[in-house]
Amino acid sequence: MEKITYIFYQGRKENIESKKFQALDHYYLINNFISDGYPVEIIELDQKPSKINKLFYYYDRFLNKFLSLPSYTHMVCNFKNYRLLKKSDRVFIVNEGVGFSVLPLLILLKLFNKKQINFFVMGLFSKKIKYKYLSFFHNLFIRLLVFCVDNLFFLGKGEFDRANILMRNNKKFHFTGFSIDTNFWKASGDVVKKSNQIIFVGNDGNRNIDLLKNLADKMKQFNFLVISNLLEDNQKKQNLKILKGQWNSNEITDVDLRRHYEESVITIIPLKNSYQPSGQSVALQSMSLGIPVLISKTNGFWDPDSFINNEHLIIVKNENIDEWENKIIETVSNKELMDSISKKALEKINVEHNLEDYFYKIKEIINI
């Protein structure tokens, strides 16, 4: 069978090899390929690169600081990884940070080895460049990455549409959305719900933390549970509890997170406007557990044609505290609306956003 190689940041290889993983959402179908019998290799960015690789550090600094592009070439570009990629038939890259980090290796593969390169996109076309006069080079690197890749799987419809405008309907672009492990994110039925608890989860920079803090200040009748590294412990309030954690750490397990969702009455996802499909996994996980979701309207909202406001979730169109406060109170105080959204969202996730169907969709695109 064809050999497949995945390139990740850190935190997945050990879990996969030791089978310590719980929810499979953020493994990007690698477990499905393994279950189907495909030989799979994993490359992860090395936190302790060799002295030779440290020469790439200055290249990375240039891309990060001046072109606003995430790059950690010094952690992954070496002869060992290049030899591994040469032996692969298909390569999967999980985000733009990994993509720019392995770009030198992708160029070599494109020129000399002709491997199929597949890329999950979640923010590639949403970067804001700090130095406008360098925008030509910023766009050049994006185009170079796209040139080296055979298939780009867009997790958000907003970013997919923007990319097609910028690059004139590139046939490499595929809108796939995102899916979660619905077998894991299933309500247990034995968790006691806290009627005044609102949960917020997430660590990416597009989370609107200021709005969240202001909501907690204003809505003293609710307790806010914040699972994020974006707030410091000294920002805790009487009605705002902070738990540090992210998906690839052991601070809070997926089992812990599932319980926290189930204890909450709603999930809120206030966002800054961006083309990045932020908040998608948190929203889908909540929906799969029957927890109603309130989320900001952004350019990067993942699938506005499919997810209907007031039917599958609540979309807050104005980013001001009064609008958010009103929507929260209106939703929580309307049991009929809560029950309806919970039921319809759960049905939608189970039917349209499970990993099995997502795997089938990806296999069709890559012709495997």
pLDDT at position 86 over 90:
yes
- Evaluate whether residue 192 is within a structural domain: no
Are 10 and 247 contacting, i.e. CB atoms less than 8 angstroms apart? Answer: no
**β-strands 223-227, 293-296 pairing:** unpaired
Q: What are 228-239's pLDDT values in tens digits? A: 998 877 777 789
CA atoms within a 13 Å half-sphere pointing along the CA-CB vector of 222: 25
Which pair of tokens denotes residue 96?
A: 């733009």
- Evaluate whether residue 189 is within a structural domain: no
Are 41 and 84 contacting, i.e. CB atoms less than 8 angstroms apart? Answer: yes
pLDDT at position 212 over 70:
yes
Q: What are 10-30's pLDDT values in tens digits? A: 888 888 887 777 899 999 999
How remote is the C-alpha of 220 from its chain's centroid?
Answer: 31
How would DSSP label each residue in 81-105?
HHHHHHT-SEEEE-SHHHHHHTHHH
- In this structure, are 344 and 362 located in the same domain? no
- In this structure, are 159 and 246 located in the same domain? no
- In this structure, are 61 and 111 located in the same domain? yes
Single-letter amino acid, residue 7: I
- Evaluate whether residue 104 is within a structural domain: yes
- In this structure, are 8 and 142 located in the same domain? yes
- In this structure, are 215 and 320 located in the same domain? yes
- Evaluate whether residue 74 is within a structural domain: yes
Mean pLDDT computed over 304-328 = 94
Q: What is the DSSP letter of 154?
A: E
Structural domain tally of the chain? 2
CATH code: domain of residue 224: 3.40.50.2000
- In this structure, are 135 and 216 located in the same domain? no
**What local confidence, expressed as pLDDT, does residue 224 receive?**
97
- In this structure, are 107 and 163 located in the same domain? yes
Least confident of 44-48, 95-99, 289-293: 44-48
- In this structure, are 362 and 340 located in the same domain? no
- Evaluate whether residue 84 is within a structural domain: yes
- Evaluate whether residue 190 is within a structural domain: no
- In this structure, are 236 and 360 located in the same domain? no
- In this structure, are 167 and 101 located in the same domain? yes
- Evaluate whether residue 173 is within a structural domain: yes
Q: What is the gyration radius of the CA atoms in the chain, in angstroms?
A: 21
- In this structure, are 213 and 173 located in the same domain? no
Q: Model confidence at 98, in pLDDT bands (50, 70, 90)?
A: very high
- Evaluate whether residue 345 is within a structural domain: yes
Q: What is the DSSP letter of 168?
A: T
Q: Model confidence at 318, in pLDDT bands (50, 70, 90)?
A: confident
Q: What are 41-75's pLDDT values in tens digits? A: 999 997 676 666 777 888 999 999 999 999 999 99
- In this structure, are 149 and 294 located in the same domain? no
* Gap between the Cα atoms of 344 and 351, Å rounded: 11
**What local confidence, expressed as pLDDT, does residue 133 receive?**
83
Helices 335-352 and 321-332 meet at what angle, rounded to 10? 90
* Structural domain boundaries, residue 314: 197-352
Any residues with CB less than 8 A from the CB of 317 and at least 6 apart, and which?
Answer: 297, 323
Q: Model confidence at 251, in pLDDT bands (50, 70, 90)?
A: confident
